[in-house]
Amino acid sequence: MTHKPLTTLTEEETMFRDAVRSFARSEIADRVMAMDEKQKLDSDLIEQCFQMGLMGIEVPEQYGGAGSSFTTAILAIEELAAVDPSVSVFVDVQNTLVNNAIIRWASDAQKEKYLPRMCSEWVGAYALSEPGSGSDAFALSTKAVDDGDHWTLNGTKLWITNGGEADFFILFATVDPEAGYRGITAFIIEKEFEGFSVGKKEDKLGIRASSTTELILENCKVPKDNVLGEVGKGYKVAIETLNEGRIGIGAQMIGLARGAFDAAMAYMNDREQFGRPISQFQGMQFQYAQLATELEAARLLVYNAARLKDAGKPFLKEAAMAKLYSSQIAEKVASKCVEFHGGVGFTKEFPAEKFYRDAKIGSIYEGTSNMQLQTIAKLLAK
């Protein structure tokens, strides 16, 4: 497979992107502030995401998905984030983490059982982090014990995106704490499994409509058939899936930055001072021209990583760079756009303050900026 030019979209990709953009503007935009205040996604909107085919973009058609590319999923995530990053990350986790892991690692029987549901009704979540393991992702304390005809899991997971809406969880536990990362195993957990419950929902600075919860496992019984991949190979599932997930976060960040930038430009073109729109003052022009240039550079990094992934080429360094830089630019753009609005930018009357709050998470989740720098440095030093 060839590596397509970065800015060239196929006709199919363009049509899909435009459809998602239209959906976001017509169905999501008017609900953004209410969902942010309620800290909850609109249930009707979740259903619409399934109806639009946004919850199974890469899933093969035989399982009810769109059978499309990773790049197509990235385009959808970007368009949603330009209107509401909370909805964007909801769709992002489903596609780049959960569905991707099932497609790559699940048995045929697991795919037959779960993928049709993931495309039509079930929301997924990805449960790796714990109170004592963040950047040190494999310092897990959640333990899985082989009890003959089933596994018994005990422990607590933290910072789980989609935890409040999810029916399906890819959850990591260790079968042998002394084996380190070689004891890590991935399990498929259904919400109704005995001994499993969703705990506290976090009260967050940004992406407030996106649920972030803890998960509690108290003698949770998991069927033997629900191991994802091989016992003791969960670290491989986690690493490879998160590498792809970072590109998804990159797409979320460039979409967020674009949404903030477009809102600010509209305001500056409309707002007059000293007899002309403030966008015409050179002091403003130089600032937004710089931001637009940096945003385009971040977009190219994200698209490049996605194209490499689709082409089956190495993309680890490029994914880390895309995630690092896009999160930096999103925070910079969102901050400047608050300033461009002047006093009203500091109020909830305009979207600038929400984009600013939402931007901060980009440098933290799915690998902090320091972890991305460490990854990039290691690969450059080889």
pLDDT at 2: 47
Three-state DSSP class for residue 41: coil
Active-site residue, 214 included: no
Query: What mean pLDDT is reported for the chain?
Result: 96
- List 78, 79, 318, 366, catalytic entry: 366
How far apart (Å, rounded) are the C-alpha atoms in residues 162 and 202? 12
Side chain identity at residue 222, one-letter code: V
pLDDT at 136 over 90: no
How far apart (Å, rounded) are the C-alpha atoms in residues 92 and 164? 16
Tens digit of pLDDT for each residue in 37-55? Answer: 999 999 999 999 999 999 9
The span from the first CA to the last CA of the chain, in angstroms, equals 26
Could you tell me the domains of the chain?
11-123 (1.10.540.10), 125-232 (2.40.110.10), 236-380 (1.20.140.10)
E strand or H helix that includes residue 328: helix 316-340
Task: Give the mean pLDDT of 211-226.
Answer: 98
Which residues touch 310 (CB under 8 Å, ≥6 apart)? Answer: 1, 69, 70, 71
How far apart (Å, rounded) are the C-alpha atoms in residues 60 and 139? 34
Angle at CA 87, nearest 5°, toward 306 and 294? Answer: 50
pLDDT at 382: 77
Share of the chain above pLDDT 70, in %: 98
For the chain, what is the radius of gyration of the CA atoms? Answer: 21
Tens digit of pLDDT for each residue in 51-107? Answer: 999 999 999 999 999 999 999 999 999 999 999 999 999 999 999 999 999 999 999
Side chain identity at residue 17, one-letter code: R
E strand or H helix that includes residue 186: strand 184-190
Task: Give the mean pLDDT of 156-162.
Answer: 98
Q: In the numeric block, which tokens belong to residue 58?
A: 């890469």
pLDDT at 7: 60
Residue among 80, 79, 95, 69 at smallest CA distance from 10: 69
Q: What is the pTM of this model?
A: 0.96
Tens digit of pLDDT for each residue in 352-370? Answer: 999 999 999 999 999 999 9
Q: How confident is the model at residue 199 (pLDDT cuts 50, 70, 90)?
A: very high
pLDDT at 139: 85
Report the Cα 375 to chain-centroid distance in Å.
Answer: 19
Task: Give the mean pLDDT of 173-184.
Answer: 93
